[in-house]
Amino acid sequence: MRALIHSEWTKFRTVRGWVIGMAVAGFVILGFGLLPSFQGSCGGRGPQSDCVLPVGPEGQAVTDGFMFVHQPLTGDFSLTVRVASITGVLPPGPGQDEMREGVAPWTKAGLLIKDGTTQGSAYAAVMLTGGHGVRMQHNFVHDTAGMAGSVNSPRWLRLTRTQQKITGEESADGTAWTTVGTVTLAGLPSTAQVGLFVASPQYAEVDDESSFGSFSSYGGFTIATALFDNLSRAEGWQGKRIGGPDNMDDELGSFEETGDGSVRVTGSGDIAPAVGGPAGIGTGLTDTLVGTFAGLIFIVVIAAMFVTAEYRRGLIRTTLAASPGRGKVLAAKATVMAAVSFVVGTVAAAIVVTLGQEVLRGNGVYVHPASFATELRIIAGTGLLLAVAAALSVGLGALLRRGTTAVAAVIVTVVLPYLLAIAVLPPAAGDWLLRVAPAAAFALQQSLIEYPQVLNLYIPQAGYFPLPPWAGLAVLAGWAAAVLGLAAHLLRRRDA
């Protein structure tokens, strides 16, 4: 087998056109990634307009802007309140221009303890949401579900601090209490800001589930007003819009004490991880790798020709005479093409991912930072994706034996479904296609993280794939294995 791979490698590297083609594949990935084509607005409106997102205690970029009615409390405490009702307004629907009555699914109103009022500081909160019942959340990314509930039925909430431990409880009547969750906020100082909060996030919705052609979405900011009563601590409240100017009192953030421990709080914004896409801002690392498709086409053409060129001039007979193990010949070809493609893809992706982000940021585009592990997965994933696609292409080349049909077959199976999914089919059908088609492997390049507690359009157009990265690769690998298996079978049965 080693000798076979060696001979196939020699065959590959001695055809100048193929080597150049592979280099070109790498360069187009680089080119599309590094050419400054995107323009963003960050930094474009003066030195203070840089898009800088606050970073949470666990390192993610976060959204931390909401209405906080708070006071400093030192030591252990317990604070109880009843959320009497939540009302609000939503952005206009398609074709309308007036805000609508309504509460966004992830509108939040409840009790919050936070390590100061600077954005990104640690926190824990128990809350009633617009559409997801009672939740206990902390430090932006963690979310625990309580009971289901409605914005129209009052709900009691209690937040208790015991040193670093924060416990959230809920109750329907104020007497029988259920614990939603207990979390530990390590490093929380003895004096923390505690109080009521209201957040109402960006809202986004696909224009219509079955809209065809170019997909469109609509959305915008939302505002919510929560009526709190039976607040267990009546004195000393002050309001602040986190992430906003001090003491600003407007429609996006205000509060009013109506006596008897009743407070009306109006707020907008969110306290959650930041996401890209229609409901978020900026873009992910994935966008730097758009050239992968162009590179992929070069690679699959070369991989298909690597096999079909032998059929064209009868070289295959020489090859099979030199190594009669036909399945092994195919395996060696696939291995060589996959290895070369992996190297090309990985090197190109490594450069693009490191330098491409800088280019985008330089152009004023907000690029969501990704963890080192994610960057590594994207880089190696691009290589793997190209490697497996090259193997698939070798298989189709051996199966079809004609360069033209083999190349067309690879492109039609790998590239076309992706195109249909992102640009032609309705999102539901596109979603399905990206679960079963070889293009599922592009999930390896996903850099943005899907958070169930943030409303967003998690669709391929915005850089979110329906399958997790490795499952996506498995789909492509399954296709490649099936095609190579069939090709090996036919190669053994057919006359050369």
Which residues make up the interface to another protein (CB under 8 A)? 32, 37-40, 207-213, 283, 287, 290, 293-294, 297-298, 300-301, 304-305, 308-309, 312, 365, 402-408, 411-412, 415-416, 418-420, 422-426, 429, 461
Beta strands in 200-323 (DSSP E): 203-206, 217-220, 223-229, 238-241, 253-259, 262-267, 270-273
Residue 362: CB minimum distance to another protein, A = 14
- Tabulate helix, strand, coil % of the chain (nearest 5): 40, 25, 35
| CB-based contacts of 322, cutoff 8 Å, min separation 6 | 7
143 vs 207, beta carbon nearer another protein? 207
- Residue 51 CA to residue 219 CA, distance in Å, equals 21
User: Tokens standing for 436?
Assistant: 């079963």
Sheet containing 67-74, strands listed edge to edge, beginning at the edge strand earlier in sequence: 142-145, 134-138, 123-129, 108-114, 191-199, 67-74, 238-241
Residue 117: CB minimum distance to another protein, A = 33
Handedness of CA 338, 343, 346, 352 (dihedral sign): negative
Residue 274: CB minimum distance to another protein, A = 16
Q: Could you tell me which of 223, 197, 228 has the C-alpha nearest to residue 85?
A: 228
- Residue 127 CA to residue 149 CA, distance in Å, equals 11
123 vs 418, beta carbon nearer another protein? 418
- Residue 440 CA to residue 435 CA, distance in Å, equals 6
Residue 335: CB minimum distance to another protein, A = 21
429 vs 481, beta carbon nearer another protein? 429
129 within 8 A of 108, measured Cβ to Cβ: yes
Q: Could you tell me which of 19, 29, 203 has the C-alpha nearest to residue 100?
A: 203
402 vs 435, beta carbon nearer another protein? 402
Residue 17: CB minimum distance to another protein, A = 8
User: Tokens standing for 428?
Assistant: 């539901």
Give the burial string for 306-319 (b: 16+ CB within 10 Å, else e): bbbbbbeeeebeeb
Residue 12: CB minimum distance to another protein, A = 15
37 vs 178, beta carbon nearer another protein? 37
Residue 461: CB minimum distance to another protein, A = 6
424 within 8 A of 461, measured Cβ to Cβ: no
Angle at 434 between CA 431 and CA 435, to 5 degrees: 90
254 vs 286, beta carbon nearer another protein? 286
205 vs 257, beta carbon nearer another protein? 205
Residue 106: CB minimum distance to another protein, A = 24
164 vs 432, beta carbon nearer another protein? 432
423 vs 482, beta carbon nearer another protein? 423
Beta strands in 230-347 (DSSP E): 238-241, 253-259, 262-267, 270-273
Residue 393: CB minimum distance to another protein, A = 10
